[in-house]
């Protein structure tokens, strides 16, 4: 299933959402293409989606969920990729 959290993450002068799949990266990449999110928006395990595309993502079938639930479902699906630490 495709999930999206609210556009509350600030960056580059705008607000952003995170778009994930709790099923597969293939599903995620295909969905992102359908709503016009460029590949450069993919980071490790999610797409950063500008606030202007939030409604389009929901209309296309993304399930809106709180950020904590999005992360929990990503972990439960075995698709969470954490940033590597450099120590």
Q: How is 17-40 classified by DSSP, letter by letter? A: EEEEESS-HHHHHHHHHHTT--GG
- Across 63-82, average pLDDT: 90
pLDDT in tens, 2-61: 999 999 999 999 999 999 999 999 999 999 999 999 989 999 899 999 999 999 999 999
Please count the other Cβ atoms lying within 10 Å of the Cβ belonging to residue 27.
14
The answer to whether residue 81 is domain-embedded is no
Please tell me the total count of domains within the chain. Answer: 1
The answer to whether residue 82 is domain-embedded is no
Whole-model pTM over 0.85: yes
Residue 87 has pLDDT above 90, yes or no: no
The answer to whether residue 65 is domain-embedded is yes
The answer to whether residue 87 is domain-embedded is no
The answer to whether residue 83 is domain-embedded is no
The answer to whether residue 86 is domain-embedded is no
What is the reported pLDDT for 21? 95
The answer to whether residue 49 is domain-embedded is yes
Q: Sort residue 51 into left (φ over 0), alpha (ψ -120 to 50) or beta.
A: alpha
User: Strands 14-21 and 42-43: what pairing?
Assistant: unpaired
Containing domain of residue 57, as a range? Answer: 2-76
What is the reported pLDDT for 77? 85
């Amino acid at each position: 299933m495709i999930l999206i959290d609210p556009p509350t993450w600030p960056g580059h002068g705008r607000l952003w959402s995170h778009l994930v799949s709790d099923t597969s990266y293939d599903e995620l990449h295909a969905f992102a293409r359908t709503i016009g999110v460029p590949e450069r928006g993919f980071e490790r395990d999610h797409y950063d989606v500008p606030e202007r595309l939030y409604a389009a993502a929901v209309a296309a079938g993304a399930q809106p969920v709180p950020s904590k639930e999005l992360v929990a479902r990503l972990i439960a699906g075995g698709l969470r990729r954490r940033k590597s630490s450099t120590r």
